[in-house]
Structure 1
Amino acid sequence: MGFPPFTQEHHTAPYAGIDPRRPAVSAAGKTILITGGGSGIGPRIAEAFAVAGSKQIVLLGRTNSTLLKTKSTLESTHSGLKVLIFVADITDVSAVNAAFHGTRATFGPIDIFVSNAAFLPDTVQIKDMIVSDFAQGLTTNVVGNLVTTQAFLATAAPSNAVLIHVTTGAVHLPSMVNYSGYQTSKTAALKFFEAVQAENPDIRVMNVHPGYLATDMNVKGLGSDNSIPFDNLDLPGHFMVWAASPEAAFLKGKVIWSNWDVEELKARKRELEGGEMLTMVLNGWPRKD
């Protein structure tokens, strides 16, 4: 299976345009909150924002040990960085609210929220799908995002707040055999975040595909199929720092891939700003010119 190109350059590793050390993408003075922060790409995203200058990073996750390890690594590597950790399942309203409001009480309003936590239902055909596993995908990937988004809206910075939902390239692809559970839940989440953007025009909402990565979740889904090389694990973190910066403001409300070249995207700013391109629409539906 090949990936559909949008920019001519398809990156698989970090590059100069998304270097988090660039002054233009600085996260200095920003409070960052990341769900799924203790494992997978969560620690790499946190690392990228720390390199970009953030001194206040918050990690939510379900496992205290991985959160503590990530906190220790980040704080020992970046002078002056303070990392708060909260053990919370994103579907637990009380725990999530405690985390977000605890963040505001300690660090002030949240500037950038990276909604990274997700669940991959078993990759089997529909006839073999366990109903409870399919339902867990919807609960985590849709209801969990409702819970965390409500908490973010109540604690977000009053201006220039950014919400990045970590989506999947599968929402851009035709239906994939064995992936009905994941594609269904992540597509529903995409429509949910379109509603979040429509109802909250002062917040920038972005849906970012992180790339094809060797995380535990991807390995679970692949089984023995490893025919496509994995992308570098630092790619999504670097890209998300750029996506949260003023340089990417024209992509508000869009679905974008970490693999796409940012210089090519910026060159198409007038074409991409507003409108339906890179949003979910019904193909063939009549539109006004």
Structure 2
Amino acid sequence: MRPTALITGAGRGLGAAIARELAPTHDLLLGGRTPESVRTITKELGSARAWPVDLTDHDALAEAVAHIDRLDVLVHNAGVAEVGTIADTPIAAWRHMYEANVLAVVELTRLLLPRLRDTNAHVVLINSGAGLRSNPGWSAYAASKFALRAFADALRAEEPSLRVTSIHPGRIDTDMQRAIVEAEGDDYDPDGFLTPGTVAWAVRNAVETPRDAHPTEIVLRPNPR
């Protein structure tokens, strides 16, 4: 039986790249906010199944999780980012990022724990360099990613049958990154960023690491081309 992997935010960018990396070896559930958001990648990969749900709607999430019978890999990739100084960032933006980047991850993991324990599963959390340090203009986003790292550390300690890996990539060449750079008022240079495929390869490498090792944190920094 092939292992099953659920990837959130799988419709584009890094999530789609992770799906492509895991598709040869895993049966995939591709998470997205709507069916349309994962339609293209689901068709591309053929046997993958769409798993559309708004992760911040906890009632809908509980209903969607009820249909998952087995899970070997859970990749928390979905997230949001907004930049701005503390003075200029409204509390609604803080709340939005915390809901999407932390609470959605917490609740999805909690609901799936019985399935994850059944298979001694691997939980991968796509964090950020902002989960290791906070820079000016990134306070709200960094706070959410620091919280995500704390959650991963606690999950690893409380659930010793699971492997829990935090991935901390630097900036990645994605549509989200283009929006961030535009908000910062800078010119976009993809050669200064990681490619989605490189980060996806790191995820696959963590998942394929033999069971005698536990890859707890992976940090990737761009090497300008």
Q: Same fold (TM over 0.5)?
A: yes
Once the 2 structures are TM-superposed, how far is the Cα of residue 211 of structure 1 from its aligned partner? 4.2
Query: Residues 249 and 235 from structure 1, CA distance in 2 versus in 1: closer, same or farther, beyond 3 angstroms?
Result: farther
1:73 aligned residue: 44
Check whether the contact 1:61–1:86 (CA below 8 A) recurs between aligned residues: yes
Once the 2 structures are TM-superposed, how far is the Cα of residue 255 of structure 1 from its aligned partner? 2.3
1:39 aligned residue: 12
Check whether the contact 1:110–1:156 (CA below 8 A) recurs between aligned residues: yes
Matched ranges for 1:136-155 at <5 A: 136-155=96-115
Matched position secondary structure for 2:192: coil
CA distance in 2, matches of 1:183, 1:136: 13
Say if 2:58 is the partner of 1:110.
no
Identity in percent = 27
CA distance in 2, matches of 1:119, 1:149: 18
2:161 aligned residue: 202
2:31 aligned residue: 60
1:11 aligned residue: none
Say if 2:3 is the partner of 1:30.
yes
Matched position secondary structure for 2:137: coil
Say if 2:92 is the partner of 1:129.
no
Spell out, residue by residue over 1:82-111, the C-alpha distance to the aligned partner (whole angstroms, 9 max, x if none): 22212212122232223333131xxxx100
Spell out, residue by residue over 1:51-78, the C-alpha distance to the aligned partner (whole angstroms, 9 max, x if none): 3x22x10011113212111100111xxx
CA distance in 2, matches of 1:172, 1:189: 11
Query: Residues 157 and 29 from structure 1, CA distance in 2 versus in 1: closer, same or farther, beyond 3 angstroms?
Result: farther
* Higher-Rg member (1/2): 1
Check whether the contact 2:132–2:146 (CA below 8 A) recurs between aligned residues: no
Spell out, residue by residue over 1:134-160, the C-alpha distance to the aligned partner (whole angstroms, 9 max, x if none): 111111111111111112213225243
Letter of the structure 1 residue corresponding to residue 42 of structure 2: K
1:239 aligned residue: 202
Check whether the contact 1:113–1:152 (CA below 8 A) recurs between aligned residues: no
Check whether the contact 1:210–1:235 (CA below 8 A) recurs between aligned residues: no
Once the 2 structures are TM-superposed, how far is the Cα of residue 258 of structure 1 from its aligned partner? 4.3
Gaps of 5+ in 1: 1-27, 76-81, 261-289
Query: Residues 71 and 216 from structure 1, CA distance in 2 versus in 1: closer, same or farther, beyond 3 angstroms?
Result: same
Say if 2:131 is the partner of 1:160.
no
Which TM-score applies when normalising by structure 1? Answer: 0.70
Check whether the contact 2:31–2:50 (CA below 8 A) recurs between aligned residues: yes
RMSD of equivalent CA atoms:
2.0
More off after superposition, 155-164 vs 234-243: 155-164
Query: Residues 86 and 66 from structure 1, CA distance in 2 versus in 1: closer, same or farther, beyond 3 angstroms?
Result: same
Matched position secondary structure for 1:195: helix
Which TM-score applies when normalising by structure 2? Answer: 0.88
Higher relative contact order (CA 8 A, sep 6+): 1
Match of 1:186 among 140, 145, 163: 145
Check whether the contact 1:211–1:235 (CA below 8 A) recurs between aligned residues: no
Once the 2 structures are TM-superposed, how far is the Cα of residue 247 of structure 1 from its aligned partner? 3.5
1:277 aligned residue: none
Match of 2:213 among 247, 250, 269: 250
Matched position secondary structure for 2:66: helix
Q: How many pairs are equivalent?
A: 218
